[in-house]
């Protein structure tokens, strides 16, 4: 299984944010997509999930050979694509446990048995070192930044998607929370999941080693490489890359 | 029986043959006010109007019904709503009390639940002491009407120190058109007593008009704790409900009051909760869900008459169809009521293009050293929340349903009563299902509009 993004052009409020982006994430691979603020990282994540506020003007999104460019977000999710939000919505009156049950059942023919769900929940909460009482709270209501991110990763763990997009999951986390979240992602990584980590900083990549690194500027991927590229970026910074790209274009 | 109650001979043949003189006097005062007062039209801020011009008052009359031996013989809607094992149950259909059951255990504890008519004779001193203590026939045509014409009625007395586990339930039912129902409930929860009272207003799905003009008064004596719920679901019949409900809380007493409005062609209600003495505390949590062409106009007040009193008011509403709903909530802190702390929040959610509503909190504070604040929102479902849920594989329709149910959940949980909670959740679900297409259309249109903007 793979997620292929081909020549993606996306507008938000009349402004073209993505300007011909290509990217392929296969099952079993971990990709890091890095870029400064405003480069279009979150736009890419939202477009992959089909957020109606993002207008796709050109290009295709193909999941496992099937085009999902026009599919509704829930269809994409049921087909195996997941996104951990940078700023997840609050769902008042719906407990974490109930929300998870709905989400798990959305991908199944028959509703999951209460006992099986309980066991699965416990296992994943242990993995992410989440307290039992967490699941009876309303989803994201009054959650700290770290709790929100953990709730996102808990959903990832419960849903076991084929393709996971983590949109700035590392932002706003202290080092302990970052470690817990990274441990979770590492535990979930494997031959059955392709992961796209979207981030501004290289920090999370010290914990979750990517197979591929892509650097994005102004709506396009401008450099690609292995995990060593993250180190280079850390050393030189985005401005250096920008100048390098400008020079190459001029030449 | 003349059609217009104002024209009937006094005393009405529907009224009990023997009533204490003081009560007769009070009825007369009610009749005078009724004859004096015009049928009102309520206007606020120039754009919100509640008018009774569609109500054919002259065509309505009180109607008698024969008593029934068991709950099984009550209209289906009543049977469905009730708890299986109440501590007490009193049912008024039209103008008549048709069913009364009080658990022997409660009788032994000295708890009184009976028609107010009967209590005015059998517990005259008690009724006389509290009857209309905080209600007045001079508040308008309909308060005057219920003061003059109420029949049957409900009286609840929980003696001092008595704790009643099972809920005390009263029901006002209208299951036929053409009925004018004048209702009066008086409840006194004695010192340090503890109980749960639920009052239901239930209507059938008939064709035609009916009127419920109701009065409810509850007095929580010092140290008492009462859980009070009002469950209104008048059904599809064209029931006009014009009622005043008032709760007074004495020193160190606590009342949690949860009014639930789930249906009625036209509802105009005033709900007041008074923390009257030091240390009194209240929680007032209400909801409404209007649909079709329903019109709801609610005014609530949170009045602090003494210092060191606390309050917490939350009202939530949702509107579908071409319904109208207005909520106005007032916090009032009188002079000398220092160290009062209270909060009022009101939320309203529009689920249809044609629905119109407003929610207005306001504040009158006549002293210092208090904390009183309010907040309100009038909004629509958040497209971001819907998107978020859809990215988890949940369909748009299920996301919308879940979000509305979740929105009301805060209120539902404050019922703190599993049976009633389930009933309310079921009704919310049914209403959402009935409105599913128009809600989806509305949300879809909004999403498109947002994209174009």
pLDDT tens digit string along B413-451?
999 989 899 999 999 999 998 888 888 777 777 767 766
- Spatial CB neighbours of B285, under 8 Å, sequence gap ≥ 6: B256, B257, B258, B313, B314, B315, B410, B411, B414
Q: How far apart are CA A195 and CA A218, in angstroms?
A: 23
Q: Which of A73-87, B6-20, B105-119, B184-198 has the lowest mean pLDDT?
A: B6-20
The answer on pLDDT for A242 being more than 60 is yes
Is residue A106 less than 8 Å (CB to CB) from chain B? yes
pLDDT digits (tens, 9 = 90+) for B351-377: 998 999 999 899 999 998 999 999 888
Which residue has better confidence, B15 or B222? B222
Phi, psi of A169 (to 5 degrees): -60, -25
Predicted confidence (pLDDT) at residue A12 exceeds the cutoff of 50:
yes
pLDDT at B3 over 60: no
Mean local confidence (pLDDT), B398-409: 92
Q: What confidence category does residue B381 fall into, taking pLDDT thresholds of 50, 70 and 90?
A: confident
pLDDT at position B13 is: 53
* Whether A73 and B387 lie within 8 Å, measured CB to CB: yes
> Mutation test of the interface with chain B: which of A47, A78, A80, A94, choosing the one with the most B Cβ atoms within 10 A?
A94
B138-165 average pLDDT score: 96
Q: Is A136 in the B-facing interface, judged by CB distances under 8 Å?
A: no
The pLDDT assigned to B452 comes to 63
Q: Tens digits of per-residue pLDDT, B25-51?
A: 999 999 999 999 999 999 886 678 999
Residue B1 has pLDDT above 60, yes or no: no
Predicted pLDDT at B451: 62
Q: What is the pLDDT of residues B229-266, one digit of tens each?
A: 999 999 999 999 999 999 999 999 999 999 999 999 99
Pairing of strands B180-189, B310-319: unpaired
Tell me what the mean pLDDT of segment B386-408 comes to.
94
B396 and A72: CB-CB below 8 Å?
yes
For position B440, what pLDDT does the model report? Answer: 76
Query: How far is C-alpha B281 from the geometric centre of its chain's CA atoms?
Result: 20
Report the pLDDT averaged over residues B83-92.
Answer: 88
Tally C-beta pairs within 8 A across A and B. Answer: 83
Task: Output the average pLDDT for chain B.
Answer: 92
pLDDT of B326 reads 95
Percent of residues, chain A, with pLDDT higher than 90: 82
Q: pLDDT, tens digit, for every residue of A18-30?
A: 999 999 999 999 9
Q: Which of A83, A91, A138 sits opposite B391 (nearest CB)?
A: A83
pLDDT at B435: 85
* Main-chain phi, psi angles of A245, to 5 degrees: -65, -40
Q: What is residue B441's predicted lDDT score, i.e. its pLDDT?
A: 79
pLDDT value of position B220? 98
Owner of token pair 């709790």: A147
With a cut of 90, say whether residue B102 has pLDDT above it. yes
Q: How far is CA B109 from the centre of its chain?
A: 28
Name which of B391, B424, B445 to mutate to probe chain A: the one with the most chain A Cβ atoms within 10 A of its Cβ.
Answer: B391
pLDDT given for residue B12 in this prediction: 55
Mutate to test the interface with A, among B345, B385, B393, B429 (most CBs of A within 10 A): B393
The terminus-to-terminus CA distance of chain B in angstroms comes to: 62
Residue B4 has pLDDT above 60, yes or no: no
Distance CA A151, CA A29 (A): 23
State residue B14's pLDDT score: 63
In the predicted structure, residue B9 carries a pLDDT above the cut 50:
no
3-state secondary structure B103-121: CHHHHHHCCEEECHHHHHH
In this complex, do A53 and B451 lie within 8 Å of one another by their Cβ atoms?
yes
Please check the confidence at residue A51 and state whether its pLDDT lies above 70: yes
The arithmetic mean of pLDDT across residues A104-118, rounded, is 95
Residue found by looking up tokens 């060593």 in the block? A228
Mean pLDDT computed over every residue of chain A: 94
């Amino acid at each position: 299984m793979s997620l292929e993004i081909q020549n993606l052009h996306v507008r938000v409020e009349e402004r073209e944010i993505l300007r011909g982006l290509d990217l392929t994430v296969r099952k079993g691979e971990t990709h890091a997509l890095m870029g400064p603020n405003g480069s279009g990282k979150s736009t890419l994540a939202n477009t992959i999930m089909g957020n109606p506020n993002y207008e796709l003007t050109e290009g295709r999104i193909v999941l496992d050979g099937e085009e999902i460019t026009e599919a509704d977000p829930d269809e994409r999710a049921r087909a195996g694509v997941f996104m951990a939000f940078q700023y997840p919505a609050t769902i008042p009156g719906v407990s974490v446990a109930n929300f998870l049950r709905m989400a798990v059942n959305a991908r199944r023919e028959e509703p999951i048995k209460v006992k099986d769900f309980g066991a699965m929940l416990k296992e994943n909460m242990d993995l992410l070192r989440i307290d039992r009482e967490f699941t009876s709270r309303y989803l994201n209501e009054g959650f700290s930044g770290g709790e929100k991110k953990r709730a996102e990763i808990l959903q990832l763990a419960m849903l076991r998607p084929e393709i996971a997009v983590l949109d700035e999951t590392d932002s706003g986390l202290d080092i302990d929370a970052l470690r817990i979240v990274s441990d979770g992602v590492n535990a979930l990584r494997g031959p059955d999941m392709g992961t796209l980590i979207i981030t501004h900083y290289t920090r999370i990549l010290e914990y979750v080693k990517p197979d591929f690194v892509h650097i994005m500027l102004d709506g396009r991927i401008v450099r690609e490489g292995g995990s060593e590229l993250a180190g280079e970026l850390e050393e030189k910074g985005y401005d250096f890359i920008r100048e390098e790209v400008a020079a190459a274009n001029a030449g | 029986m003349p059609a217009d109650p104002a024209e009937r001979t006094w005393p009405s043949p529907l009224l009990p043959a023997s009533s204490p003189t003081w009560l007769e006097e009070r009825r007369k005062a009610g009749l005078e006010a009724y004859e004096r007062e015009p049928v009102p039209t309520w206007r606020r801020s120039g754009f919100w109007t509640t008018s009774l011009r569609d109500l054919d008052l002259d065509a309505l009359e009180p109607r008698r019904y024969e008593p029934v031996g068991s709950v099984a013989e009550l209209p289906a809607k009543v049977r469905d709503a009730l708890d299986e094992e109440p501590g007490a149950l009193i049912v008024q259909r039209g103008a008549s009390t048709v069913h009364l059951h009080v658990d022997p255990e409660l009788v032994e504890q000295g708890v009184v639940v009976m028609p107010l008519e009967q209590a005015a004779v059998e517990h005259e001193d008690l009724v006389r002491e509290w009857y209309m203590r905080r209600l007045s026939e001079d508040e308008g045509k309909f308060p005057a009407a219920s003061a003059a014409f109420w029949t049957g009625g409900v009286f609840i007395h929980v003696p001092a120190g008595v704790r009643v586990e099972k809920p005390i339930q009263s029901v006002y039912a209208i299951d036929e058109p053409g009925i004018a129902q004048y209702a009066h409930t008086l409840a006194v929860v004695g010192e340090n007593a503890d109980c749960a009272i639920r009052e239901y207003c239930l209507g059938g799905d008939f064709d035609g008009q009916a009127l419920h003009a109701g009065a409810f008064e509850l007095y929580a004596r010092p140290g008492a704790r009462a859980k009070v719920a009002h469950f209104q679901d008048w059904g599809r019949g064209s029931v006009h409900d014009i009622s005043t409900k008032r709760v007074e809380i004495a020193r160190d007493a606590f009342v949690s009051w949860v009014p639930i409005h789930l249906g009625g062609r036209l509802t105009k209600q005033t709900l007041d909760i008074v923390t009257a003495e030091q240390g009194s505390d209240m929680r007032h949590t209400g909801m409404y869900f209007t649909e079709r062409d329903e019109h709801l106009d609610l005014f609530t007040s949170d009045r602090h008459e003494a210092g060191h009193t606390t309050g917490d008011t939350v009202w939530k509403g949702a509107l579908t169809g071409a319904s109208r709903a207005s909520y106005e909530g007032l916090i009032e802190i009188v002079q000398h009521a220092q160290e009062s702390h209270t909060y009022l929040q009101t939320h309203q959610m529009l689920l249809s293009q044609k629905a119109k509503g407003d929610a207005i909190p306001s504040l009158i504070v006549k002293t210092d050293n208090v904390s009183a604040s309010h907040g309100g929102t009038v909004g629509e479902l958040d497209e971001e929340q819907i998107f978020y849920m859809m990215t988890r594989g949940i369909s748009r329709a299920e996301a919308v349903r879940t979000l509305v149910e979740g929105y009301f959940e805060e209120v539902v949980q404050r019922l703190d009563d599993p049976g009633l909670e389930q009933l309310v959740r079921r009704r919310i679900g049914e209403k959402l299902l009935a409105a599913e297409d128009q809600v989806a259309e509305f949300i879809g249109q909004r999403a498109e509009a947002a994209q174009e903007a």
